[in-house]
Amino acid sequence: MPAPRHRSRSLRRLQRKMPGGKVKKVYLARKPSRPKCAECGEELHGIPRLSKVEAKNMPKSKKRTERPYGGFLCNQCARKKIKEDARLLGSGLAKA
């Protein structure tokens, strides 16, 4: 019977070969899900799958693409949004 802390499915279960040659079950933290575009749901590129602790000490420029809506919208949706924003601004319908 596994230890009580290992009975939950919050950790991944993997078979790993130990230095002595025996295969043992190891319990590892799951990676967070891949970031998705807020508009179309497509997976975002250039964003590492990091835990909060890992992300804390990483520069911001390595955690998202460096453009408007980077890390929030995919490149096609960001392009559309920037065009929409520019057209709204030109027509005088923009809020501020």
Q: How far is the CB of 38 from Zn ion (least distance, A)?
A: 7
* Cα–Cα dist 39/57, whole Å: 29
Tokens of 25: 């079950």
Among 77, 79, 81, 82, binds Zn ion (CB under 5 A): 77
Lookup: tokens for 55: 């992300």
Binding characters for Zn ion, 37-76, by CB under 5 A (x = yes):
x-xx-x-------------------------------x--
Q: Does 82 bind Zn ion (CB under 5 A)?
A: no
Nearer Cβ to Zn ion (43/54): 43
Tell me which DSSP letter residue 69 carries: T
Give residue for tokens 């960001």: 78
Give the three-class secondary structure for 39: coil
Q: Where are the beta strands (DSSP E) in the chain?
A: 11-17, 23-29
Q: How far is the CB of 94 from Zn ion (least distance, A)?
A: 22
78 lines the binding site for Zn ion (CB under 5 A): no
Which residues would be at the binding site for Zn ion (CB under 5 A)? 37, 39-40, 42, 74, 77
